[in-house]
Amino acid sequence: MKIALAQINPTVGDLAGNARLIISFAREAASQGADLVVFPELCITGYPPLDLLDNEAFLAAASRTMTHVAASVPESLGIVLGCPLKNPSPVGKRLINAAVVFEAGREIGRASKVLLPTYDVFDEYRYFEPGTTGRPIEFRGLRLGLHVCEDMWNNEEQADYHLYAANPIDELAAQGIDLFLNISASPFSHGKHERRNEILTEICAEHLVPFVLVNQVGANTEVLFDGDSRVHLADGSLAACAPSFQEALIMWDTDAKPRQCEMPHDRIGDMHDALVMGIRDYVAKTRAFEKALVGLSGGIDSAVTAALAVAALGPDHVDGVTLPSRYSSTGSVTDSRALADNLGMTLHEIAIAPAVESFEKMLSPLFEGTAFGVAEENIQARTRGVTLMAISNKFGHLLLTTGNKSELSVGYATLYGDMSGGLAVLADVFKEDVYALARYINQRADRELIPLATIDKPPSAELRPDQRDSDSLPPYEVLDAILERYVEGLEDVEQIEAATGFERSLIERILGMVDRNEYKRRQAPPGLRVSAKAFGMGRRLPIVMKPTFREALALQPTTDA
């Protein structure tokens, strides 16, 4: 049997557009002789549909769209689609997350997602009723062990803790199947490719059954999907694989002679491709912007943001603006101009000193007798934000914010200043990785797109004379090591101290900065997620809190009545 894996990029809510995309891929699969074409989880609606699932009209339209798609593909072709459907039981949540198999326009079987994730960016139990493991679905002599995304992730035999009691993989295998078939909308994060390899190799080794995985690709707001669809043979070896971060249709013949498939991956290269895809899809899917706009400071963050935007949209669709103030170095303008020339993008120069001076004069009666400080520094940052937003409003450009995860973590960013914009490209990229991206961009281009002067200069906000980031923060290699363990690894003071050897007082200071600045992050634009724990919808902490639990950890047991 020839099975086609249709790794597509659906748009949330665009039922008509998704239908056209699915039908186009299905017809192409049929033309290549496929017997069965498989599409990703919730491909009809796009993933994640969130509270669109509370809209009855949307649900009715999704169901009709699925029926239309099934009837519009060649009758010789079986098709597997993902769609939200009404729960047939009068008890529980109103919907199930379903994978449905059609042949000649007629439904011949379905599987309801059993394991509903409610962690990080996932909140599926808010909408769906968990299914129970179904029976294998017979299709042209093959017994398919059809299941949905998370249903395969509870099979790690060596895990210390299992999130769910059920194991749909084992339950399907016990009924006798010829093939595992998983439809997914599994987001990208660092190391996800390797984790998929491990879990699928383990499943195949345990049950001696081939495994077909079809995963969504593309970006829907901050959540990025890498695709990474593949076929593992019964011995665990990789027999077919789709490229990451792009749509693809790949074919696998169950009767063909086994062949190896190579899937080389590089952490920084994957991060680059994910961010480029995220920018491109945000612009394409919102359909609200002709161009992107980047404020260029001559620094590393804005340079990398501009390079990623040009890679995503082309140089004719990205404008840069350099906004020198009285404290800007010469390189702020010259390095920005060199970057724009290297990338082939337009650069505008707007001096903000007159506006800053006007604000200072306006505020001088109230500020008289006080020392120059953060308020005055932020006037400059906010003047830049106002200027960039004015250009964005006037010409309909998407303003990309350029701050990185290190700065956003500790609040080294100005509300309504450098945090202004519609999409935060580097919000999930630590500073050390921003430098790695810059070097990768130049290496990939085999020329100096990002000026070496920008890479080599000490980072500075340039909001006061001779300012350096190191005036307020530890070296970024130290800061990032602490932040990665706290924000992404969910470690606390003692664990970080034991692992790094850093001074406890420094760790406590950094963690305090992270906790205090939740209010800023709550007001930030959506950021593209590339780690397993990004700020935004996947990290939910209160703004108003007092983390005195660290003091409580030091309390001694008492026998007082």
Residue among 162, 222, 186, 391 at smallest CA distance from 291: 391
Please identify which residue in the block is written with the tokens 């005055």: 376
Q: How far are the Cα atoms of 340, 397, 433 from residue 307, in angstroms, in the given order?
A: 9, 17, 15
Other Cβ atoms closer than 10 A to 371: 6
Could you give the 3-state DSSP secondary structure of residue 513? helix
CB neighbours (10 Å) of residue 82? 28
Termini Cα distance of the chain: 74
Give the closest residue to 486 by CA, choosing from 412, 550, 403: 550
The catalytic position among 83, 113, 192, 291 is 113
A 10 A CB-CB count for 75 gives: 11
**CA gap 76, 34 in Å, rounded:** 9
Quick one: tokens of 509? Answer: 């200071």
Catalytic site residue from 43, 149, 204, 241? 149
Q: Does the active-site annotation cover 149?
A: yes
- Determine the 3-state secondary structure of 314 from DSSP: coil
Half-sphere exposure of 189 (CA within 13 A, CB side): 16
Distance CA 407, CA 297 (A): 16
Annotated catalytic, 41? yes
Within 8 A by CB and 6+ apart from 31, the residues are none
Annotated catalytic residue, options 41, 103, 462, 491? 41
Q: Is the peptide bond before 557 cis (omega within 30 degrees of 0)?
A: no
Residues 6+ positions from 406 with CB-CB distance below 8 Å: 412, 430, 431, 432, 473, 476, 479, 480, 483
What does the block give as tokens for 196?
A: 């998929």
Mind telling me the catalytic residues? 41, 113, 149
